[in-house]
Amino acid sequence: MQNKISQYTAEINAFQSAHAEEIETFRIRFLGSKGIIKDLFEEFKTVSSEEKRIMGKVLNELKQLTEAKYQSLKEGLNTVTETFKTEADLTLPGQGIELGSRHPISLVRKEIIEIFKKLGFNVTEGPEIEDDWHNFSALNFPEEHPARDMQDTFFVSLNPTLSKGEGEEAFALRTHTSSVQVRMMENGQPPFRAIMPGRVYRNEAISARAHCFFHQVEGLYIDENVSFADLKQTLFYFVKELFGDDTKVRFRPSYFPFTEPSAEMDISCTICKGTGCPLCKQSGWVEILGCGMVDPNVLENCKIDSQKYTGFAFGMGIERITNLKYQIKDLRLFSENDIRFLQQFQSELI
Ligand code: DAH
């Protein structure tokens, strides 16, 4: 028995293989249920008790050696297969890195910001969930005044068991970025010169021309002696930069609770250049923003001395500007994430 054990020990030590089948044969031959180790333990039962003392130790060592050998052969096999796999992959063509493109709304938002930056405007942002004060009251929308209905509002309840008006402050998804003006003026003293881009929400049925959320850029300029002429020059500059030098601009009197006087600004139609087409409803003009001189009530609501300071504000929809720049006819395209639509907007601004 002693001899057999030394022979097997030598054989096991010498065994080498990188082939799964050979390694499996090795396992069955030595460690299988009818294998050599099992046989040796059977034989061990028959030897004299004196021999058992020596043989027990030797036999256990052989068993451990075999198991360790088998383990290391198996591990070697895994590494070999992996190396082989990696090498095989190297022969395949590489996978190209796909570059994304900017969303058209982000592109135009960035373009608008860059233009106003050149005029010294900072960029600030505010929250999308607003309280009544910042979205309406501070902006001179009186309680129960029909002007609040100009914008269909999504109200937000922080306590779902209460309905609006039941002893709870009303919160809403902001209906315009004008709320950010208020936050800015409340938190500092003039001069202010900033633009405020952001997403706004209105309770509207979704169609090609309306959506329940869209994007705006608000502008605010407050200082001593700011006049309507400053407002006009600022917006003239903006339009020429964004749409080109030959774009015509006109102002029409309008109404907003937070500006007095108020105006809407039109530009000559970017498609037909003013001769008349379906986009401008044959008028040659398209409206792009609302603006005006900040109402003294708004300044006072924000603790700013309306005797000393004046200023202007304006607000525009980014989707509308994007539609005009890229001739997009359906607003829904902006939020459907159709890759065929989005891939068309490559830009050097990335
Ligand atoms: N907040 C207005 C809207 O959502 C847009 C606007 C009009 C903003 C006149 C202004 C402004 O700052 O002066 O329709």
pLDDT in tens, the chain (350 residues): 888 888 999 999 999 888 888 899 999 999 999 999 999 999 888 888 888 888 888 889 999 999 999 998 888 877 765 555 566 677 788 888 877 888 999 999 999 999 999 999 999 999 999 999 999 999 999 888 766 766 688 888 776 665 555 556 678 899 999 999 999 999 999 999 999 999 999 998 999 989 999 999 999 999 999 999 999 999 999 999 999 999 999 999 999 999 999 999 999 998 888 898 888 889 999 999 999 999 999 999 999 999 999 999 999 999 999 999 998 989 999 999 999 999 888 765 45
Return the bridge partners of 219, or none: 195, 314
The C-alpha atoms of residue 277 and residue 144 are separated, in whole angstroms, by 40
The pLDDT, as a whole number, for residue 104 is 95
The pLDDT, as a whole number, for residue 80 is 60
The pLDDT, as a whole number, for residue 201 is 96
Which tokens is 15 given? Answer: 């065994």
The pLDDT, as a whole number, for residue 162 is 59
The SS3 call for residue 73 is helix
The pLDDT, as a whole number, for residue 149 is 67
Using CB atoms within 10 Å of the CB of residue 163, give its burial: 0 to 12 exposed, 13 to 18 middle, 19+ buried. Answer: exposed
For residue 219, give the ligand 1 atom closest to its CA.
12
**Residue to mutate (ligand 1; options 148, 176, 193, 199; most atoms within 8 A of CB):** 176
Q: Say if CB 317 and CB 328 are below 8 A apart.
A: no
Which CATH superfamily, name and number, covers 104-349?
Answer: Bira Bifunctional Protein; Domain 2 (3.30.930.10)
How would you label 36-69 residue by residue, b for 16+ Cβ within 10 Å and e otherwise?
bbeebeeeeeeeeeeeeeebeebbeebbeebeeb
Q: How far apart are the first and last CA of the chain?
A: 79
What's the CA-to-centroid distance between 291 and ligand 1, angstroms? 6
The C-alpha atoms of residue 228 and residue 293 are separated, in whole angstroms, by 7
What's the CA-to-centroid distance between 254 and ligand 1, angstroms? 11
The pLDDT, as a whole number, for residue 111 is 96
Which tokens is 295 given? Answer: 């109402």
Ramachandran class of 138: left when φ > 0, alpha when ψ lies in -120 to 50, beta otherwise: alpha
What's the CA-to-centroid distance between 141 and ligand 1, angstroms? 12
What's the CA-to-centroid distance between 349 and ligand 1, angstroms? 28
**Smallest CA separation from ligand 1 atom 7, residue:** 290
Orientation angle between helical segments 104-118 and 318-326, nearest 10 degrees: 100
Q: Say if CB 318 and CB 287 are below 8 A apart.
A: no
- What is the domain partition of the chain in residue ranges? 2-88, 104-349
The C-alpha atoms of residue 30 and residue 348 are separated, in whole angstroms, by 69
Write the DSSP assignment of 275-333 as a string of letters.
S--TTTTTSSEEEEEEEEEEPHHHHHHTT--TTT-EEEEEEEEHHHHHHHHHT---TTH
Ramachandran class of 308: left when φ > 0, alpha when ψ lies in -120 to 50, beta otherwise: alpha
The pLDDT, as a whole number, for residue 163 is 57
The C-alpha atoms of residue 308 and residue 294 are separated, in whole angstroms, by 13
- DSSP 8-state symbol, 151: S
The C-alpha atoms of residue 286 and residue 277 are separated, in whole angstroms, by 11
What's the CA-to-centroid distance between 314 and ligand 1, angstroms? 6
Ligand 1: residues whose CB is within 6 Å?
Answer: 176, 178, 218, 256, 259, 290-292, 313-315
**Residue to mutate (ligand 1; options 181, 266, 314, 318; most atoms within 8 A of CB):** 314
What's the CA-to-centroid distance between 263 and ligand 1, angstroms? 10
For residue 258, give the ligand 1 atom closest to its CA.
13
Nearest Cα to Cα of residue 245 among 254, 236, 253: 236
